[in-house]
Amino acid sequence: MTQIFDNPADFADEALDGFVAANRGYVARVDGGVVRSTEVPAGQVALVVGGGSGHYPAFAGLVGPGLATGSACGNMFASPAAGQVYRVAKAANAGGGVLLSYGNYAGDVLHFGQAQLRLNAEGIETRTVTVTDDIASAPIDQLGKRRGIAGDLTVFKIAGAAAEAGLDLDAVERLAIKTNYRTRSLGVAFDGCTLPGAADPLFHVPAGQMSLGLGIHGEPGISEHPMPTASELAELLVSRLLDDKPEDAGDRVVAIVNGLGTVKYDELFLLFGKVEKLLTAAGLTVVEPECGELVTSLDMSGLSLTLLWLDEELEQYWAAPADTPAFRKGSMAPRAPRAEAAIDDAETADVEQPTPAAADLGRLAVEILAQVRDVVVKHEEELGKLDAIAGDGDHGIGMRRGVDAAATAGEAVSGGSVARVLATAGEAWSERAGGTSGALWGSAVIAAGQSLGNREAYASGDAAAAVTAFVRAITELGKADPGDKTMVDALLPFRDAFLAELDGGAPVDRALAVAAAAAESAAARTADLRPLKGRARPLAEKSLGHPDPGAVSFGLITARISHFIDSQLATVAAAGELSATAGNGAQA
Ligand code: ADP
Ligand code: MG
């Protein structure tokens, strides 16, 4: 039971505030998470980790010299929003680029991915290594689908030590990839965990049973077993991990016995003793092991075993010193505190002076967002019903929440450049919408804004570039292919028609009308497809005969924008005629 709180909704935030208050020598609070409060040498690669809260010491407890530079901290068991990751990474960046590293979960991949696009577009070179150590989550021929559990620590530790040693972003990334490839974990659970304020645990393991391979948020395990003895448990974990060992494994391993929440240290040590004997008997040498709580799940009863097969360079970085609130190794020279201004500057660095043209375009963007809000509200129910056929029924409400937040946030910065308006709106969209489509729309809106920038003048080529950037953000992040039955099946025909019309010399409004028509008919044609991406995939057959909700909403939105632009032009033209008539009248 998690029982110490005022308001459960504030649990993650207030726990983080208290953590910072207790560890000021290590960490400083920034909007979205924490960064080191000590000096980071200029040019050092920034390692930014993160994920949901409720896994302490992961992730904020691992911030300090020799390990992470910053941590983005989401709500309980929920990914941090892209804006949080972006702000933490900006504050952590010391000029050497950023490596994002986190457990491989769909929400985290979308949000960290969105932040990465944004950081790269701003010239902060950013790479990603997701941790995929949990052998229970996918077979060995699908390593990329595995989720991350306690193997976070080996990957973060080695990447952090490499950054500390002054290696560049390429080298730090390569070492993180290698460490992840050579790290394997397997967990067991004896009982579930309860989110603050919840009446019941997230899941249960029947009394007297043990669930093998159950994820750290209660994702289903691979099998249930009667509660084993410690020796049987050690044997089970060791044998499964050795069966899954990487191809080029040597005979020196790091072993980590990790407690998930309520298993006592004495029990963990008892198990570790047996694990070590088995590994030694298998001809392995155990190097600088760890035994304790390293990645937890609130009050979950369970534990995991992690093995990292070392080679010479990995062993050097694993053994290097580190000094963080929760993980200390060797000894490090004390660090000077980081100047407050450096942390604050990072947060407020993007205040700009908009050009008149970019401010005008920004105001048009605000008006367009209001139109998009209006059309989404009108169709909210219909979109929800469409999503309920094979998805989870939240597309209407998610789109409404997202665009509502985006329109309001955009309006609040009206007068800023189009880049600023769309960055603010897109961030609000993905933060408030929740679902996959919200993260994709938010990121696409930001990308379109970045492409338009803050220029002295705009021409139709800029519209082409903005549409291209919008579409690219969605395909890069979502990785859906044409025919997967997603919004991409409406996006690509839209983009192609728009670019072709402009190429043929059409004005932007005409190109938009043709492209919107193409998007609407392409959206309707998705009824013939089976979904291959997203939540609707498991219910593919049910979805046949119905169009994809994300494609339909995209078609509706583009049609509305096109009508709006036409009506604006008509108003301008009418006003023009009026003044011309007035002029003629005066002459007569
Ligand atoms: P969720 O799927 O998280 O419930 P929504 O219901 O708001 O989010 O959105 C569902 C829509 O998102 C789908 O109809 C599809 O068009 C779109 N979508 C889902 N996954 C992807 C993806 N990987 N790439 C592009 N679009 C996607
Ligand atoms: Mg949905």
Residue type, 21: A
- Give the distance (Å) from ligand 1 centre to CA of residue 99: 27
Total domains present in the chain: 2
Q: In whole angstroms, give the CA distance from residue 483 to residue 149.
A: 33
**Active-site residue, from 55, 111, 204, 217:** 217
Q: Is the pLDDT of residue 540 over 90?
A: no
Paired with 322 in beta bridges are: 329
What residue's CA is closest to ligand 1, atom 18? 486
- Give the distance (Å) from ligand 2 centre to CA of residue 74: 21
Looking up residue 473, the CATH number of its domain turns out to be: 1.25.40.340
Q: Looking at the structure, do residues 451 and 563 belong to the same domain, yes or no?
A: yes
DSSP state for residue 321 in the 8-state scheme: -
Q: Is the pLDDT of residue 587 over 60?
A: no
Say if 349 falls within a structural domain.
no
Say if 346 falls within a structural domain.
no
Q: Looking at the structure, do residues 54 and 194 belong to the same domain, yes or no?
A: yes
Say if 295 falls within a structural domain.
yes
- Per-residue pLDDT band for 582 (boundaries 50, 70, 90) equals low
Task: Give the CA angle between residues 91, 96, 99 to the nearest 5°.
Answer: 70
Q: Looking at the structure, do residues 487 and 369 belong to the same domain, yes or no?
A: yes
At 403, list the tokens. 């665009």
Q: Which residues have C-beta under 5 Å from ligand 2, the single-atom ion?
A: 387, 391-392, 394-395
Q: Is the pLDDT of residue 250 over 80?
A: yes
Q: What average pLDDT does the segment 547-571 reach? A: 95
* pLDDT digit string, tens, across residues 513-531: 999 999 999 999 999 998 8
Q: Which atom of ligand 1 is nearest to the CA of 399?
A: 7
- Give the distance (Å) from ligand 1 centre to CA of residue 488: 10
Q: Is the pLDDT of residue 142 over 60?
A: yes
Q: Which atom of ligand 1 is nearest to the CA of 554?
A: 16
Examine the fold and report which residue of 309, 327, 345 is the final residue of a domain before the chain moves on: 327
Proximal ligand: closest to the CA of 553: 1
| Cα-based torsion angle of the residue sequence 141, 136, 100, 129 in order, rounded to the nearest 10 degrees | -20
Q: Which helix (H) or strand (E) holds 48?
A: strand 46-53
Looking up residue 212, the CATH number of its domain turns out to be: 3.40.50.10440
Say if 587 falls within a structural domain.
no
What average pLDDT is seen over the chain?
A: 93
pLDDT at 53: 95
Say if 545 falls within a structural domain.
yes
Label residues 310-348 b or e (16+ Cβ within 10 Å = b).
beeebbebbebebbbbbbebeebeebeebeeeebeebee
* pLDDT digit string, tens, across residues 316-361: 999 999 999 999 999 998 899 988 766 765 545 556 799 999 999 9
List the beta strands (DSSP E) in 475-569.
Answer: none
* pLDDT digit string, tens, across residues 86-102: 999 999 999 999 999 99
Cβ of 548 closer than 6 Å to ligand 1, yes or no, is: yes
Residue type, 299: D
Q: Is the pLDDT of residue 144 over 50?
A: yes
Domain that holds residue 279: 8-327
Q: φ and ψ at 262, to 5 degrees?
A: -110, 0
- The answer to whether the CB of 102 falls within 8 A of the CB of 127 is no
- Flag the least confident range among 109-123, 126-140, 225-239, 306-320: 109-123
Q: Looking at the structure, do residues 472 and 570 belong to the same domain, yes or no?
A: yes
Q: Looking at the structure, do residues 388 and 461 belong to the same domain, yes or no?
A: yes
Q: Looking at the structure, do residues 245 and 115 belong to the same domain, yes or no?
A: yes
Q: What average pLDDT does the segment 159-165 reach? A: 98
* pLDDT digit string, tens, across residues 190-241: 999 999 999 899 889 999 999 999 999 888 889 999 999 999 999 999 999 9
Residue owning tokens 């402009």? 502
Paired with 261 in beta bridges are: 300
pLDDT at 580: 63
Q: Looking at the structure, do residues 534 and 469 belong to the same domain, yes or no?
A: yes
Calculate what percentage of the chain has a pLDDT beyond 70: 95
pTM: 0.84
Cβ of 550 closer than 6 Å to ligand 1, yes or no, is: yes
* pLDDT digit string, tens, across residues 260-273: 999 999 999 999 99
- The answer to whether the CB of 98 falls within 8 A of the CB of 48 is yes
Q: Looking at the structure, do residues 257 and 374 belong to the same domain, yes or no?
A: no
Name the residue among 492, 502, 507 with its Cα closest to residue 558. 492
Q: Looking at the structure, do residues 320 and 391 belong to the same domain, yes or no?
A: no
Q: Is the pLDDT of residue 585 over 50?
A: no
* Maximum C-alpha span of the chain: 107
Cβ of 300 closer than 6 Å to ligand 1, yes or no, is: no
Say if 156 falls within a structural domain.
yes
- Per-residue pLDDT band for 30 (boundaries 50, 70, 90) equals very high
Q: Looking at the structure, do residues 470 and 557 belong to the same domain, yes or no?
A: yes
- Per-residue pLDDT band for 588 (boundaries 50, 70, 90) equals very low
Say if 213 falls within a structural domain.
yes
Say if 336 falls within a structural domain.
no
DSSP state for residue 557 in the 8-state scheme: H
Cβ of 391 closer than 6 Å to ligand 1, yes or no, is: yes
Q: Looking at the structure, do residues 428 and 540 belong to the same domain, yes or no?
A: yes
Q: Looking at the structure, do residues 371 and 320 belong to the same domain, yes or no?
A: no
217 is annotated as an active-site residue? yes
pLDDT at 537: 66
At 164, list the tokens. 């500390």
